[in-house]
Structure 1
């Protein structure tokens, strides 16, 4: 069944619901394989199965997601991961306003997968294939990796695995697991290591921007980094930093609780205890907390590089009013932070 001219998780959602229901009603099929386009993001597709219509109908009534499979090209993934290209540069956008970069899509597709099929393995050397495996494990230590030539894959490895769990897939990519203190030893066999950089001091926006502008040079060995940060020039904001390959993105995700009136704090005692557990005077819950994942990481050198981006003693003494005047080359955020804290 082919569905075209739309997105499977929005304009084609009703069509998908109807087709899956029709096929299920026939009672002739054990499994249904949904193949989306190569530029699709997996999370919205998976969430489509939890979507309930106004009539109370859901795909979960007749089917469940068993396995999320991502296919990567062994011959091109390493170059694509280091690329600064937009999807538009390859003529592969979902809409005219689609401004996603290729590497960000690759990361999303690999991090969300239960199984990663590495195709065209016959076109690369053993060393290159090891690098591909290491990259996949750096992004998703739990993923099963299957090497394939001419697309030959045992169906038992991709059907009926029971591996998919929407809550786990959406909440715990490798970087999030590291923040929670969960380390996956299987990734160690691929030479993958990681650590969490933490500091209660704010970053100088100009120095951090310079560091992240050339991450392959300033953060050697790092394949992926993501976490939360605070810029001295934007002391009310929780920033989320996400880097892969040569590309980096920093965006706001809420306010620090320290920048919010206590009247807006959650009433739940457990949540308040979690806030207070990270509280350090004089800046409250403001904190740099960034996971770095890669190979042959020099933890001391990487930590020192990030430490140099923090405010020094003289800059710190200027206080928050002075920090707001620091040169800040990052793109602007909204003038007024949202009411909720991160």
Structure 2
């Protein structure tokens, strides 16, 4: 239930611009007092972001200069104060933010929860009512499983944006409370496979058809256990909701777990198994020779990244037991090992053209053998480590999440500074 003291906020997202725009028009037309906000990033390379604000028949279109060339900083400094100002206008009953095609809703929601305006987060004034993602059935599956860069398609959010189309397509779908299916798949097989992927990628989300998606149905379909804009915790459960576990149309869901470290060189060689025929990988890992580093692994289509997400609780450099969430303490206690503490290999892999048995076998082959375990930590520090390039030794144990990485030239460990 929405807090009556806060203004409901709806985020609309999706790679297909026409259905997202149509949903925005419906939401604003159906309910008087609904304000629409849209930042268009298509001119970011020219140093400006176009901004539209509409309330009833009044519409304002302007340009916002990029803050030192950074789209994220500009949106933070423009969108957040704007939301607060709109929420405090008595005639505004709801705010709809139509996100640019290149934006990932979870990252926007993280700013809503963490960035401060006048020393308070925007969530003191607005409450995310729903994240709604439009899915073009003709093209979404191809986008979510490919390796094209946003820049190749002129969809990038600024000159330094090296993300892939798959990264954005997957991120927009998996964080949705409601998925709205638009258009027609080219054939029944593609339609079935797209549905099978979405059911496993976003098991909490309701699925609606665009034709009948008016405001009442859109907002009424939001499940009680939906994300509703709450960012996910990399130390929390990898799988939310209840995705189907049986294969469907070649789409499979695998959870890989182990409690011994990866050999850095063998893991580096094994990572291709997470890129060929895999839609999404999310999870945590640790490397022999780096007992403190809690690593976050994330892939989408043909791109994969590994980032630091703080330290394990068992690490001397880790956060105190009382300094983390009750949920993290519970998970750590359930899997606590007398030798490894809360360290664990845990990856959730959604595949559409890959054999889950081959994925499991390849990843297990990258773990330390019994003989290597017997050598002990002193020997592990001398193992070759291809991930060392770009490794930032700093860490932030208060890190709330890990941002997906683009395709790049190969995985290195990067520090997540958020």
TM-score bracket for this pair, using the shorter chain length: 0.7 to 0.9
Of 190, 207, 210 in structure 2, the residue corresponding to residue 145 of structure 1 is: 207
Report how many residues are paired. 326
User: SS of the residue aligned with 1:223?
Assistant: strand
Aligned to 1:17: 84
**Distance in 2 of aligned mates of 1:168 and 1:315:** 44
Structure 2 CA distance for partners of 1:341 and 1:255, relative to 1, 3 Å: farther
What are the within-5 Å matches in structure 2 for residues 37-186 of structure 1? Answer: 37-46=100-109, 53-54=117-118, 58=122, 61=125, 64-121=127-184, 123-148=185-210, 153-161=213-221, 163=223, 169-171=230-232, 176=237, 178=239, 184=242
Q: TM-score, normalised by structure 1?
A: 0.78
User: SS of the residue aligned with 1:213?
Assistant: helix
The C-alpha deviation readout for 1:253-274, integer Å capped at 9, x for no partner, is 1222333169x63248977776
Tell whether 2:385 aligns with 1:328.
yes
Q: Judge which range, 11-20 or 291-300, deviates more.
A: 291-300
Of 297, 309, 314 in structure 2, the residue corresponding to residue 241 of structure 1 is: 297
Structure 2 CA distance for partners of 1:177 and 1:203, relative to 1, 3 Å: closer
Aligned to 2:408: none
**Distance in 2 of aligned mates of 1:133 and 1:154:** 21
**Distance in 1 of aligned mates of 2:246 and 2:129:** 27
**Distance in 2 of aligned mates of 1:57 and 1:239:** 28
Aligned to 2:312: 256
Tell whether 2:259 aligns with 1:200.
yes
C-alpha displacement of 1:327 = 2.0
C-alpha displacement of 1:310 = 1.0
Q: TM-score, normalised by structure 2?
A: 0.65
Q: Which runs of 5+ in 1 are unaligned?
A: none
Q: Judge which range, 293-302 or 233-242, deviates more.
A: 293-302
Structure 2 CA distance for partners of 1:34 and 1:185, relative to 1, 3 Å: closer
Structure 2 CA distance for partners of 1:261 and 1:223, relative to 1, 3 Å: closer
Aligned to 2:339: 282
C-alpha displacement of 1:35 = 1.2
Q: Judge which range, 82-91 or 201-210, deviates more.
A: 82-91
Structure 2 CA distance for partners of 1:307 and 1:188, relative to 1, 3 Å: closer
C-alpha displacement of 1:237 = 0.9
C-alpha displacement of 1:49 = 5.6
Of 321, 324, 346 in structure 2, the residue corresponding to residue 266 of structure 1 is: 321
User: SS of the residue aligned with 1:335?
Assistant: coil
Structure 2 CA distance for partners of 1:332 and 1:15, relative to 1, 3 Å: same
Q: Which runs of 5+ in 2 are unaligned?
A: 1-52, 54-60, 67-73, 401-418
**Distance in 1 of aligned mates of 2:221 and 2:157:** 30
C-alpha displacement of 1:216 = 4.8
User: SS of the residue aligned with 1:12?
Assistant: helix
User: SS of the residue aligned with 1:227?
Assistant: strand
User: SS of the residue aligned with 2:138?
Assistant: coil
Query: Greater helix share, 1 or 2?
Result: 1
C-alpha displacement of 1:316 = 2.8
User: SS of the residue aligned with 2:253?
Assistant: strand
**Distance in 2 of aligned mates of 1:227 and 1:161:** 29
Structure 2 CA distance for partners of 1:59 and 1:169, relative to 1, 3 Å: closer
Q: Judge which range, 331-340 or 223-232, deviates more.
A: 331-340
Structure 2 CA distance for partners of 1:189 and 1:304, relative to 1, 3 Å: closer
Aligned to 1:293: 350
C-alpha displacement of 1:297 = 7.6
User: SS of the residue aligned with 2:361?
Assistant: helix
Indicate conservation of the 8 Å contact 2:145/2:301, yes or no.
Answer: yes
C-alpha displacement of 1:147 = 3.2
Indicate conservation of the 8 Å contact 2:130/2:228, yes or no.
Answer: no
Query: Greater strand share, 1 or 2?
Result: 2
